[in-house]
Homo-oligomer: A and B are copies of this chain.
Amino acid sequence: MPNSDAEFLTIRQMCARFGVTPRTLRFYEAKELIFPVRKGQSRLYTRRDRGRLKLILRGKRFGFALEEMRQLLDLYDRGDAQVEQLRRTYAAAQARLAEMERQRAELDEAIVELKADLAWGADRLATLGRAAAE
């Protein structure tokens, strides 16, 4: 039985734990976001990879581009100038929040509009239905 707290996880174990596809993990590796070690031809993911992937998926939910996440993760990896790193991440997060709130406003507007269209459509259908019944 595979121990998911083991030092190394296979690609299948990673997919199961994080809900992603093998293609996604290979893609992130090609983009230099994670760095699994090799055992023969197979990939083995370390604790570090798990930590990074978790942050990557969090960042995705906030709309960060993968390249942006890579840069932020690399900042933390170097471990120097802690405050400066945090400041940059904080600024990036603020920018993301603003963008997300703009998106929400747009989405809200579109939803209201579409609902109005649907009401109009329901009305039309009712009218056409009555006309056909006569």
Contacts and interface: CB of A to CB of B under 8 A. Distances in A.
A86 B132 contact: no
Contacts of A125: 83, 86-87, 90
Given A83-B125, A83-B132, A86-B124, A118 B97 contact: yes
A122 B62 contact: no
Query: Main SS of the interface on chain A?
Result: helix
A90 B125 CA distance: 9
A97 B115 contact: yes
A94 interface: yes
Task: Quickly give the copy total for this chain.
Answer: 2
A74 interface: no
A3 to B, nearest CB: 30
Size bin of chain A's contact surface: 20 to 34
Interface of A: 61-63, 82-83, 86-87, 89-90, 93-94, 96-97, 100-101, 103-104, 106-108, 110-111, 113-115, 117-118, 121-122, 124-125, 128-129, 132
